[in-house]
Each structure stands twice: as structure tokens, then as C-alpha cells.
């Protein structure tokens, strides 16, 4: 008897978003195999207008099995799936957001008591590791709990190696060594692995120079150009840069992810300068050139810090709408850029953030 034949409520806690999504997919696949062709998947998140009690207690119509997948997002300020290097904005918002998410989780737990026998419930909790116990302590023993450890260092390299082998890459070891130097954005790494697998088939053999030429994980200069055009109010150039990034394989969420990193750097630099730190010291801490720090200093002087905080909120709202199916990824990023352009126009403009 498999786990999911005896337990119908599963909670998965993960601090790295893509790894969490992979585990959820494994659980969904295992459940769906029990009712092939006669299976219903219902996705829920906070803000979706649904009657929880009815969903959990009404037997599904026309199908023999229903899986309800609930997403709880406690990863405030974490744009890459790991703790952000600078959480200034997150700390300002995280308490109220997390309280709202935890309140919604409590509603799910309460309404899912004595659920229908034809129903499975999977709750995916995206949260920092230190919040796992806060979440898990809310549920009873009838739940199965899965804690996902953070993949860092050798564990990260092992994950990349396994994914490279699964993609059919022959020289998986070299690829894993190379990609493990690009941080822990596993979604982007997986995307690059698919590209490398095709490249190996075409070229016959991989080499380090070849990988350096084709891997597009490091596109910060182009992201910086897009951000500079946006913050300076140059709509034509901003949209052109975004279009070029999409044409080179970066999807909207990846672009939003990188833009959020630029904004966080701006806020960090602005605060450091305000506290009297020198340009050379800040440049060394962020591993960037002093020119970049001075450029940021110039931008921060011509815009309010509130504008940058609102800009982060715009991107977070975009991510939420894409993940809940309210807007398509590529259309949404252009809508988000439009809102950012309005924020940084010379005259203050009220922008609806929908957060």
C-alpha cells in the first residue's frame, strides 16, 4: 500500500520554490495514476473566491477522484526561492502578509476536517525553514508531513547532476560543475539543462567554452539596461529591452525576478549611503563597479524611496497574478513594466497595485 492510499492529507514545506513545485508535481502524478482519465485537479490560493466547506465536503461530479491543491506563500521578499540578500522591503511587509496567509491556512485546515473519501488534499507551503514548525504545529496527526531541506553546496551540485542525467546529457558531471556556480535559481538552471541537452545532440560533444557561450543565466547587463530605461521613464527602450530578453529565452517571471534584484540593490545602496558608508566599500560588498553605485546614487536622489518600494510591490503582484492564472506571463510583464514606468515619471502618478 502506497502512502497516498492510506493518507489523504499531505503538507509539503519548502523554502526553494522550484524544488517545492517539483515535489508537488510528484505527489499530483502519484494521485492521478489512481484514477487515470477520471481525475479532477482544483487549485486554491488566498484571494480566490471559493466556498472552502463546499469544496471539501461535496462529492465530485462526473469524476471518481478530486485533488485539491492549496498554495500558502510565506516566502515574503524571497524572489529566488532562497532568503533574499537584502530584506529591507520584506521586513516592512512580511508580518501582515504572513498573518493573512496563515489565517487562510487555518481556514483550509478547519474546513477540511472529515473530507469526502473521494478527495485528496495537498497543501504546499512556500516558507523559510525557520517557519516550518509554525505551520506544521497547526495540523493534526492525520496529515502526512514532508519537509524539504534547502539544496546548497554539494546538495545543489548533486541535484543538478541528477537533473542533467535525467535530461540525457552525457557529460553530466562537467555540466553540473559549471552550473553549480550560478547560484540556486533552480528553475533557470533546469531551463538551461534542457537547452544544453539539445546542444550536445547537435554538437556531439560539450566543452567549457561552448557552455560559457550558450548559457544565459548571467544576463544582468541586459536586465540592468531594461531597469535603467524603466526607472528613467524611457518606455520605448524599456519595452524593447524586455522584448529582446524574451526573444533570448527569458520568460516574464525570470525577468521580474531579476528586476526585483535590481530594486533590492537600489534600496540597499540607498540605505548604506544614508548611513554614511563609502562608495568603494558598498561596491566591494556587492561585488560591482563604483560606477554602478554612483549611478544608483543619482537615481535615488531623483526618486523617492517609496517609489522603489511600490515598484517591488508591482512585481510581486505580477508574480501572484501569473501563478494564480489571472494573467498570462508574457502579457503580464509588459503590464508590470507599464506600471513601473508610471511610478518613475517626473510627476507623481497614482498606480493601482492590487496588493
- The confidence score (pLDDT) of residue 348 equals 39
What band does 109 get if pLDDT is binned at 50, 70 and 90?
very high
Higher pLDDT, 290 or 195: 195
Sign for the pseudo-dihedral over CA of 321, 322, 325, 328: positive
- The confidence score (pLDDT) of residue 86 equals 39
Higher pLDDT, 172 or 246: 172
- Biggest alpha carbon distance in the chain? 67
- The confidence score (pLDDT) of residue 274 equals 81
Which range has the worst mean pLDDT, 33-37, 104-108, 222-226? 33-37
Instruction: Indicate the domain borders of the chain.
Output: 7-147, 154-214, 220-343
Which range has the worst mean pLDDT, 122-126, 135-139, 245-249, 273-277? 245-249
- The confidence score (pLDDT) of residue 14 equals 93
- Do residues 223 and 258 make contact, with C-beta atoms less than 8 angstroms apart? yes
As a whole number, mean pLDDT of residues 225-240 equals 87
Q: In what order do the strands lie in the sheet with 65-73?
A: 39-45, 65-73, 119-126, 9-14, 144-147
Q: Burial code of 52-78, b = ≥16 C-beta within 10 A, e = fewer? A: beebbeeebeeeebbbbbbbbbbbbbb
| 3-class secondary structure, 60 | coil
As a whole number, mean pLDDT of residues 198-222 equals 77
- Do residues 279 and 298 make contact, with C-beta atoms less than 8 angstroms apart? no
What's the CA gap between 255 and 179, in Å, rounded?
19
What's the CA gap between 200 and 194, in Å, rounded?
10
Beta pairing class for 39-45 and 144-147: unpaired
| 3-class secondary structure, 99 | helix
Which stretch, 56-70, 71-85, 95-109, has highest mean pLDDT?
A: 95-109
Beta pairing class for 65-73 and 119-126: parallel
**In 23-139, beta strands by DSSP E:** 39-45, 65-73, 119-126
- The confidence score (pLDDT) of residue 337 equals 93
Q: Is the CATH number 1.20.272.10 carried by domain 220-343?
A: yes
The cell for 200 is 550536445
Which stretch, 78-92, 193-207, 286-300, has highest mean pLDDT?
A: 193-207
Report how far Cα 293 is from the mean position of its chain's Cα atoms.
27
Q: What mean pLDDT value characterizes the chain?
A: 81
Q: pTM to 2 decimals?
A: 0.60
Above 90 in pLDDT, residue 338?
A: yes
Residues 7-147, CATH architecture: 3-Layer(aba) Sandwich (3.40)
Amino acid at each position: 500500500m502506497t502512502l497516498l492510499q492510506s493518507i489523504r492529507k499531505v503538507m509539503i514545506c519548502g523554502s526553494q520554490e522550484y524544488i517545492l513545485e517539483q515535489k508537488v508535481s510528484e505527489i499530483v502524478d502519484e494521485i492521478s495514476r489512481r484514477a487515470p482519465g477520471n481525475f479532477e485537479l482544483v487549485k486554491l490560493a488566498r484571494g480566490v473566491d471559493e466556498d472552502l466547506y463546499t469544496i471539501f465536503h461535496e462529492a465530485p461530479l462526473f469524476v471518481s477522484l478530486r485533488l485539491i491543491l492549496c498554495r500558502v506563500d510565506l516566502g515574503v521578499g524571497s524572489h529566488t526561492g532562497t532568503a533574499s540578500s537584502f530584506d529591507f522591503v520584506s521586513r516592512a511587509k512580511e508580518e501582515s502578509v504572513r498573518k493573512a496567509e496563515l489565517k487562510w491556512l487555518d481556514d483550509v485546515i478547519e474546513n477540511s476536517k472529515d473530507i469526502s473519501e473521494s478527495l485528496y488534499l495537498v497543501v504546499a507551503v512556500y516558507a523559510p525553514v525557520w517557519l516550518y514548525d509554525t505551520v506544521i504545529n497547526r495540523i493534526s496527526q492525520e496529515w502526512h508531513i514532508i519537509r524539504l531541506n534547502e539544496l546548497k553546496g554539494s546538495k545543489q551540485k548533486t541535484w543538478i547532476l541528477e537533473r542533467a542525467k535525467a535530461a540525457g546529457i552525457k557529460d553530466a558531471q562537467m555540466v553540473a560543475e559549471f552550473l553549480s556556480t550560478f547560484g540556486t535559481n533552480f528553475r533557470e538552471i533546469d531551463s538551461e539543462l534542457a537547452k544544453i541537452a539539445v546542444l550536445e545532440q547537435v554538437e556531439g560533444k560539450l566543452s567549457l567554452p561552448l557552455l560559457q557561450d550558450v548559457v544565459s543565466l548571467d544576463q544582468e547587463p541586459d536586465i540592468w539596461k531594461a531597469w535603467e530605461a524603466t526607472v528613467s521613464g524611457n518606455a520605448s527602450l524599456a519595452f524593447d529591452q524586455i522584448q529582446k530578453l524574451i526573444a533570448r529565452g527569458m520568460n516574464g517571471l525570470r525577468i521580474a525576478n531579476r528586476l526585483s534584484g535590481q530594486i533590492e540593490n537600489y534600496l540597499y545602496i540607498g540605505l548604506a549611503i544614508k548611513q554614511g558608508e563609502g562608495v568603494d566599500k558598498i561596491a566591494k560588498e556587492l561585488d560591482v563597479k563604483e560606477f554602478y553605485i554612483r549611478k544608483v546614487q543619482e537615481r535615488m536622489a531623483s526618486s523617492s524611496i517609496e517609489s522603489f518600494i511600490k515598484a517591488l510591490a508591482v512585481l510581486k503582484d505580477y508574480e501572484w497574478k501569473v501563478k494564480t492564472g489571472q494573467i498570462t506571463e508574457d502579457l503580464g510583464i509588459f503590464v508590470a513594466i507599464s506600471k513601473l514606468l508610471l511610478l518613475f515619471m517626473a510627476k507623481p502618478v497614482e498606480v493601482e497595485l492590487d496588493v
